[in-house]
Amino acid sequence: MRSPQALIVAALLLAAARPVPAADTGDWWDRLQVHGFASQALVHTSENRWFGDSPEVSYEFTEIGLNASWRVTPRLLLAGQVLVRRAGDMYDGTPALDYGLADITLISSPAKRLGLRLGRVKNQLGLYNETRDVPFTHPGIFLPQVVYFDRVRNLILSSDGAVVYGDLYSDAGNLSLTVGNGRSVIDENVEWAYLNNDFDGDVTPDTNTWLASLWYTTRNERLKLGLSWASVRIGFEPDAGSPFTVGPGTTDLDYGVASFQYNAADWTLSAEYAREPLKWRGYGPPIPDRDATGEGWYLQGTYRIRPDIGLMLRYEEGFANADDRSGRELEALSGGLIPRYAGFSKILTAGLRWDINPHWMVRVEYAYNDGTFILSARENPDLRDQKRYWNLFSAQVAFRF
């Protein structure tokens, strides 16, 4: 309970439990909001493992969330969310604090706003990162994986620290700027993704993460343009005396996203481009020092046949190294241990969404995959067993209140 986000959530719970005079009860409840959601998916792949043993049909993609926000004063908002997430071998369903923050409004007027968020804050990266845990906010069952990697989801999801944000409102549109600094939330999936193994030792943030984003939105919110950026350094400390590990190395990455979205009455067009320069240093012979630049982009369209039924079509491409799009250099560097198609993914996805009522939603989705870049090495540890061409079928039911 020493971390800032834990103290904030504790304060929220204590305040919620505090006796309220009868005359103030109605006002107190008016300023408290509690929401939740739950989803369950079925996943089947023709080859490779995706969110569990998917070649045999996997039911190991479950999300349950409970969040609350309390407007303590007109200038202070407390908010938090606890998430239970089960996702194959990557997440086991242990409850975790998704975010827990205090949002302080410093300046507010019809023309501008300036504020500060403290605690565990969702990172404003791209169109979907801030809301990626709520199924109803997704364009599909799975986000575009070449930009929003589920295999390292926690690395870019949120940070423990502080974010300053400012908004300007005018007839020409709204401009929003955020700048933040904090500690990234790192788990074993990050080690699997960037070191391709679970070595004896600990992976931790080596320095604080810097984040920034700039967004422009027209007043009618039809057009949205954004630039997002994060800089992270991951450090590895090997267990002393272990013969099966690597040296005390670091991985530096800069993650930048350019975003576009246009909303019309019945359809939405979205596109994003992500670039990720990477540097590996100090791990020793198993992981030689090298540089690479990851890259990914997608183009996505959604069409609402009627208010309760929508279609989605998306094409995306991602590369482990933009200078090695075929993956041949990666295969040669590994001595053939890593197949070249592990260096890229090209995916065509089609989906259908049905909002049964305001509380229930059903989705079905199909994706054709060329390449295995998006796969988790934790779920598919023997890269030579991966198959280049594979199909992904999925269905999901979700509930919210």
Mean local confidence (pLDDT), 239-266: 92
pLDDT-derived band at 120, boundaries 50, 70, 90:
very high
Residue 316 within any structural domain of the chain: yes
Number of Cβ within 10 Å of residue 73's Cβ equals 9
Residue 191 within any structural domain of the chain: yes
Condensed to tens digits (0 to 9), the pLDDT of residues 339-370 reads: 999 999 999 999 999 999 999 999 999 999 99
Write the CB contacts of 306 (distance below 8 Å, at least 6 apart in sequence): none
Distance CA 239, CA 246 (A): 9
What are 314's two structure tokens? 């998306």
Percent over 70 (pLDDT), the chain: 94
Question: Between residues 368 and 21, which one has the greater pLDDT?
Answer: 368
Distance CA 333, CA 335 (A): 6
Residue 290 within any structural domain of the chain: yes
Distance CA 20, CA 24 (A): 6
Q: What is the pLDDT of residue 17?
A: 38
Q: What is the pLDDT of residue 363?
A: 98
Q: What is the pLDDT of residue 29?
A: 77
Mean pLDDT of the chain: 91
What are 207's two structure tokens? 């320095």
Is the pLDDT reported for residue 93 higher than 80? yes
Residue 89 within any structural domain of the chain: no
Residue 58 within any structural domain of the chain: no
What CATH number is associated with residue 233? 2.40.160.10
Write the CB contacts of 241 (distance below 8 Å, at least 6 apart in sequence): none
Residue 6 within any structural domain of the chain: no
Mean local confidence (pLDDT), 309-320: 98
Our count of domains for the chain comes to 1
3-state secondary structure the chain: CCCHHHHHHHHHHHHHHCCCCHHHHHHHHHCEEEEEEEEEEEEEECCCCCCCCHHHCEEEEEEEEEEEEEEEECCEEEEEEEEEEEECCCEECCCEEEEEEEEEEEEECCCEEEEEEEEEEECCCCCCHHHCCCHHHCCCCCCCCCCCCHHHHHHHHEEEEEEEEEEEEECCEEEEEEEEEEEECCCHHHHHHHHCCCCCEEEEECCCEEEEEEEEECCCCCEEEEEEEEEEEEEEEECCCCCCCCCCCEEEEEEEEEEEEEECCCEEEEEEEEEEEEEEECCCCCCCCEEEEEEEEEEEEEEEEECCEEEEEEEEEEECCCCCCCCHHHHHHCCCCCCHHHHEEEEEEEEEEEECCCCEEEEEEEEEEEECCCCCCCCCCCHHHCCCEEEEEEEEEEEEC
What are 377's two structure tokens? 């090495």
Residue type, 190: V
Lowest mean pLDDT among 49-58, 147-156, 218-227, 318-327: 147-156
Is the pLDDT reported for residue 234 higher than 70? yes
Distance CA 68, CA 6 (A): 14
Residue 78 within any structural domain of the chain: no
Domain range for 269 is 47-53+101-400
- What is the dihedral sign for C-alpha 332, 334, 338, 344? negative
Is the pLDDT reported for residue 15 higher than 70? no
Report pTM. Answer: 0.89
Residue 29 within any structural domain of the chain: no
